[in-house]
Amino acid sequence: MSRKGIACISISVSCLLLVALLAGGALLVRPAAAQQSFAGQTLVITDWGGPWGESLRRNVAAPFEKKYGVTVKFDVGKSYENLAKVRAQRHNPQIDILFVDYGASQWAAQEGLTVPLSNYAASIPNLADVYPQAVAPGQAFVATRVSAQGIMYNEQKIKKPVDSWAALWDKDFEGHVGVTGIQWGTGKMVTTAAFLMGGNEKSPDLGFNKLKELRKIKIFESASQVAQLFQQGEVWIAPQLGPAAYALQKSGMPIRFVLPKEGAFGMFDNMSIVKGGKEQLAALFINFALDPAVQVEHAKDLTVGPTNRKAVLPPDLQQKVPAGEQIGRLYLQDDRYANSQLPAWTERWNREVVPMITK
Amino acid sequence: MVDGTVAGDPPASAGTSGERETTAPTAIPYLLLAPSLLLLGLLFGTALVLLLALSLSPGAIPVQPGSSVRFLGNYVRFLADTYYLGQLAVTLEIGLLVTAACALLGYPVAYSLAKAPPGRRRLMMAIIVTPLLTDPIIRAYGWVVILGNEGPLNRLLLRTGLVDAPVKLMYNWLGVVIGLVHFLLPFMILSIASVLQKLDVALEEASLNLGHTRFGTFRRVLLPLSLPGVMAGSTIVFTLCISAFVTPQILGGGAIQMLPNLIYQQIVELYDLNFGSAMALILLVVAMGGLLGFQAIARRLWAEGQPS
């Protein structure tokens, strides 16, 4: 009995010593140990799939997996679909990072589904170098990349120069014009139309009145859907995100992408830390995605703008993507306001714009 | 030895157990039903109660806050609005159109299926059921490729000179109907064939012998006798059709907003669970109405078809 007791004590003591040693070691080489502790874990991040997902996998997720010994899984869907998943998993989160558009990110923060980045400030030092436009109020979430939304057109079918959103209303292209659905970028199509009437998202009446002038339009909900419509020859001209347009161009389609004079939209893709998920690991991933070198590689691959001001792009790429000063020149819609108006806009959209598909 | 007794036993025991069942009713059928009833009651019942509760709370766009219709605001918003009633009508129209098309297209196939020798019947069955094994999204995108402006069908029409410009075959109601008919036809064929198979061939032969033409035989003998199959198939096709979501979404190209698409918009896109639930319940009531309607028609036709 007493011998057993001694054995027990000596084992516990040696265990304690070992723990103390490890802890001491960890203190000495803290970053390395911090990396070690995540090995074998799986981080789940939402994503849009397509060229976005492939590029995020190659340039961000894969090197992150290598560095931390973890597995990164993608949960693919549109922004609002992925928001719906996080909502449904509120009590048992399966997703660690919500990577979606501004509108969905804001809903998630508002409903307390995510935690502010400031909770993990020490793990996200790169946040200090991010353009202020890319950080949400209260550090609720941060954009890791920015795309410009301009006009994509088929240069074989359209020979006239295109430099204005008004081209979507050009009667010569009637029957071959695509417009984004009401959900896309939280009502960006309404704002686009309002631009042409001298307004913006705060004057939706102007937008809807202009939209009602459209005839025989195609309405699409995703970048992949409009790419398909271009390939089928159904659509010649449509609003599109830079990365999607350049991906289609790379595939050999006769595509041109222009930033209209009334203003191209800056579309931020935002990462939030899901509450109750692997919050610490999620914070490390976000920091990794904000790293200047990682952002440059991702930007080159996807033709997308970085959000870290230390990420310097090669000159040829600077022409194509919003970077540096250009971010300031992009039109940033008040998505917070647009979010609050979306139910009413959807109601009007269903009645006033959807019938124009067949008119 | 043991084998021998077992092999010899079944006919006798089957007979006695059959007699026993008819003389003394047991609780066995109810016990057998209990698990599925419990499961349905719990899952379906709970979901329904939740849906009803949600639908009674105000949604994102409340109707006259504080008015007398406080709890029914979402229903009023739907039922007092010609837009939503119009979309309900579109849903029902497409449902009826698809059901009729399935019945017309499915009957001849079902007839030849019922008359085919067993070997060929198995092959036909496999072919008929194949569309059901494909994912609805892939099936719909298959049609997108076929029906597109530059798809094979339009290219054929243009090359043969039948048309001058591509015919609009999708992103309208036609595309939705084509996609839904393709999806739902197997249900109709199998329902009708299962009834036709059981009909006595002698009835058909007698009718022909007694002077009816082939068409007369079909109209006066075959059709009335197989109506239960047509009606069962119609019930399945109609309910699946008005609750279809993926096919109208893809082949309608946004131009056709059937009720399920509007429910998706409210619940997933706008997170207005309240209005979405109200719409879902309205669709459920309409589907039930449709079902009862079909059954009433079936019963009347059945009664008319019987020799007086």
pLDDT digits (tens, 9 = 90+) for B131-154: 888 888 899 989 988 998 888 999
**Closest residue on chain B to A178 (Cα):** B253
pLDDT digits (tens, 9 = 90+) for A8-23: 555 554 544 455 544 5
B148/A233 Cβ within 8 A: yes
Q: Is the pLDDT of residue B18 over 90?
A: no
Tell me what pLDDT residue A37 has. Answer: 80
**Ordered domains of chain B (ranges, CATH):** 1-55 (no CATH), 73-305 (1.10.3720.10)
Q: Cα separation of B223 and B208, whole Å?
A: 15
Q: Cα separation of B296 and B286, whole Å?
A: 15
Average model confidence (pLDDT) for chain B? 85
The full 3-state SS of B60-97, as one line of letters, equals: CCCCCCCCCCHHHHHHHHHHCCHHHHHHHHHHHHHHHH
Q: Is the pLDDT of residue B9 over 50?
A: no
Tell me what pLDDT residue B7 has. Answer: 40
Q: Taking CA A297 as the corner, what is the angle to CA A244 and CA A120, rounded to the nearest 5 degrees? A: 100
Q: Cα separation of B175 and B183, whole Å?
A: 12
- Global ipTM: 0.80
Q: Cα separation of A76 and A47, whole Å?
A: 5
Tell me what pLDDT residue B23 has. Answer: 54
A234/B148 Cβ within 8 A: yes
List of chain A residues with pLDDT < 50: 1, 13, 15-17, 21-22, 24-35
Q: Cα separation of B71 and B58, whole Å?
A: 7
pLDDT band (50, 70, 90) for residue B117: very high
**Closest residue on chain A to B152 (Cα):** A232
pLDDT digits (tens, 9 = 90+) for B28-72: 888 888 898 899 889 989 999 999 999 998 887 766 555 556 788
Tell me what pLDDT residue B65 has. Answer: 54
Tell me what pLDDT residue B67 has. Answer: 59
Tell me what pLDDT residue B3 has. Answer: 41
The residue assigned the tokens 């109208």 is: B248
Q: Is the pLDDT of residue B289 over 50?
A: yes
Tell me what pLDDT residue A84 has. Answer: 94
Q: Cα separation of B5 and B10, whole Å?
A: 9
Tell me what pLDDT residue A32 has. Answer: 44
**Closest residue on chain B to A357 (Cα):** B255
**Closest residue on chain A to B269 (Cα):** A80
Query: Any idea of the CA torsion for B176, B182, B185, B190, to the nearest 10 degrees?
Result: -150
Tell me what pLDDT residue B98 has. Answer: 97
- Percent over 70 (pLDDT), chain B: 87
Under DSSP, the state recorded for A305 is: B
Contact assessment for residue A210 and residue A274, using Cβ atoms and an 8 Å cutoff: no
Q: At A217, list the tokens.
A: 């339009």
* Residue from B270, B272, B275, B279 to probe the interface with A (highest A Cβ count within 10 Å): B270
**φ and ψ of A142, to 5 deg:** -140, 145
The reply to whether A215 touches chain B by the CB within 8 Å rule is no
**φ and ψ of A178, to 5 deg:** -105, 140
Could you tell me whether strands A255-258 and A114-115 are parallel, antiparallel, or unpaired per DSSP bridges? unpaired
- Helices B223-242 and B82-115 cross at an angle (nearest 10°) of 140
Q: Is the pLDDT of residue B25 over 80?
A: no
pLDDT digits (tens, 9 = 90+) for B198-207: 988 888 888 8
Q: What's the pTM value of the predicted model, to 2 decimals? A: 0.82
Distances (CA, A) of A70 to A19, A43, A278, A282: 24, 7, 12, 11
Tell me what pLDDT residue B128 has. Answer: 92
B149/A221 Cβ within 8 A: no
Q: How far is A175 from chain B (nearest CA, A)?
A: 11
* Residue from A82, A174, A221, A350 to probe the interface with B (highest B Cβ count within 10 Å): A350
Q: Is the pLDDT of residue B77 over 70?
A: yes
Tell me what pLDDT residue B24 has. Answer: 61
Tell me what pLDDT residue A6 has. Answer: 53
Contacting B residues, span 27-46, partner chain A, CB-CB under 8 Å: none
Q: Give the one of A220, A233, A343 whose C-beta lies nearest to B61's C-beta.
A: A343
Under DSSP, the state recorded for A127 is: G
**Least confident among B24-38, B187-201, B262-276, B281-295:** B24-38
Contact assessment for residue A262 and residue A20, using Cβ atoms and an 8 Å cutoff: no
Contact assessment for residue B152 and residue B146, using Cβ atoms and an 8 Å cutoff: yes
